């Protein structure tokens, strides 16, 4: 295959043509500032309001509960830091999970240096949060529970509704990082008792640099960026109208084909998993087999080093990753794989393949064929594999 097979959609996605078309007029034709009173600005304000209204509807939320941000990391930072600030009188204890994205973990570490206590709840071998441990961690001074909707590395979907019920029962705010889940699986903030939710445009064939934070009405979260009165006084800065229009267009595109897209990705995902398990020995599927994102495949392969595998796949026109794009520069094994109990040497040989509705069964066949050859090549050079095979004999 001469064309690129792109299997890193959890890192970022290609902006869809319909999204680009929706954005273009707001760069050159309707470029007015949404805060101005003349007609050109009014056109931008109209696009802003319509986008907010549509996105709110996808979550069962109200338009005045959606705040546009620069992306998932900002939304996570805002939800956690602003809650800590606003509710410090009630308490300084936060609960999160051991497998969160670094946008949550590093924000919690920052707060720990500023007098807050954070409990990192463990997960089982499939990456599902331990609800008993979560309940046991709750204290009178707990002000926030922040647990991701679905894991960005291993794809496991958390029992969000149950976590929301626990939080509500104890009068604790509940935030979820839904960057990987929004527009990939159905979400209703009321049914799931979610108080705050983070999402990002570039994970759903929208542009980079745009996201939103849902904040339930009545929650006293303070401003994160100070300046003008944009976003109802809670986030200053001239609104990124082309980005916001692009985010709404990407959401419309995704939700218009959600069931069909999920079905196609699940079929391809399960086909790819079954072939890898059947044809490559000494591999382990990471993440829950059923409760996982429709497009996520994550394996650990023994006796190989992940980076070499990625380079060899790239040479064959396959774009993949070993985990989160935000940590790909790190030599440490994934904190997610360590949290589910993998030893360092196996965690180092991990591969994440994240599909889109554009991928085909033929591409999956090609990927498996290349993986089989790559595994044989890398293992033939591994002294550990050689020793292991001698012992087997």
327 burial (CB, 10 Å; 0-12 / 13-18 / 19+) is middle
The tokens describing 195, both together, are 């108080």
The tokens describing 112, both together, are 């720990």
What are the backbone angles phi and psi of residue 153, rounded to the nearest 5°? Answer: -100, -55
Residues pairing with 352 in the sheet: 298, 321
Q: Which residues contact 337 (CB under 8 A, 6 or more apart)?
A: 153, 154, 286, 300, 323, 346, 347, 350
- Cα separation, 143 vs 116, in Å, equals 11
Placement of tokens 């394996």 in the chain: 299
- Cα separation, 329 vs 163, in Å, equals 33
- List, in sequence order, every beta strand (DSSP E) within 49-182: 66-69, 93-97, 117-121, 142-146, 173-177
Q: Which residues contact 57 (CB under 8 A, 6 or more apart)?
A: none
Q: Helix (H, G, I), strand (E, B), or coil: what is residue 224?
A: coil
- Cα separation, 20 vs 56, in Å, equals 22
Q: Helix (H, G, I), strand (E, B), or coil: what is residue 80?
A: helix
Going across the sheet that includes 350-354, the strands are 283-285, 296-301, 350-354
Which residues are identified as catalytic? 326
- Cα separation, 236 vs 226, in Å, equals 5
DSSP state, 64? Answer: G
């Amino acid at each position: 295959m001469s064309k690129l097979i792109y299997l890193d959609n959890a890192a970022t996605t290609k902006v869809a043509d319909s999204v680009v078309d929706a954005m273009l007029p707001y760069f050159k034709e309707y470029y007015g500032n949404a805060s101005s009173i003349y007609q050109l600005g009014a056109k931008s304000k109209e696009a802003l309001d319509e986008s907010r209204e549509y996105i709110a509807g996808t979550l069962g939320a109200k338009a005045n509960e959606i705040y546009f941000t620069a992306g998932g990391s900002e939304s996570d930072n805002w939800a956690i830091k602003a809650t800590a600030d606003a509710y410090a009188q009630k308490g300084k204890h936060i609960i999160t999970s051991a497998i969160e994205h670094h946008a949550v973990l590093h924000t919690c570490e920052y707060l720990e240096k500023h007098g807050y206590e954070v409990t990192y709840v463990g997960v089982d071998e499939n990456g599902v949060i331990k609800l008993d441990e979560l309940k046991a961690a709750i204290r009178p001074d707990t002000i926030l529970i922040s647990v991701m909707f679905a894991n960005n590395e291993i794809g496991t979907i958390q029992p969000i509704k149950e976590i929301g019920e626990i939080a509500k029962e104890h009068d604790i705010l509940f935030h979820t990082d839904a960057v990987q889940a929004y527009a990939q699986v159905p979400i209703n903030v009321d049914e799931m008792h979610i108080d705050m939710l983070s999402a990002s445009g570039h994970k759903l064939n929208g542009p980079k640099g745009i996201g939103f934070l849902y904040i339930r009405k009545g929650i006293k979260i303070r401003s994160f960026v100070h300046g003008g009165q944009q976003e109802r006084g809670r986030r200053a800065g001239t609104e990124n109208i082309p980005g916001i229009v692009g985010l709404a267009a990407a959401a419309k595109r995704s939700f218009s084909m959600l069931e069909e897209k999920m079905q196609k990705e699940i079929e391809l995902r399960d086909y790819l998993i079954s072939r890898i398990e059947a044809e490559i020995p000494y591999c382990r599927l990471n993440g829950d087999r059923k409760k996982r994102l429709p497009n996520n495949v994550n394996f650990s392969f023994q006796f190989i080093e992940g980076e070499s595998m990625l380079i060899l796949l790239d040479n064959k026109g396959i774009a993949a990753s070993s985990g989160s794009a935000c940590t790909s520069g790190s030599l440490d094994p994934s904190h997610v794989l360590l949290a589910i109990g993998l030893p360092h040497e196996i965690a180092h040989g991990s591969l994440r393949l994240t599909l889109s509705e554009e991928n085909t069964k033929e591409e999956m066949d090609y990927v498996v064929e290349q993986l089989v050859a790559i595994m044989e090549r890398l293992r033939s050079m591994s002294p550990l594999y050689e020793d292991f095979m001698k012992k087997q004999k």
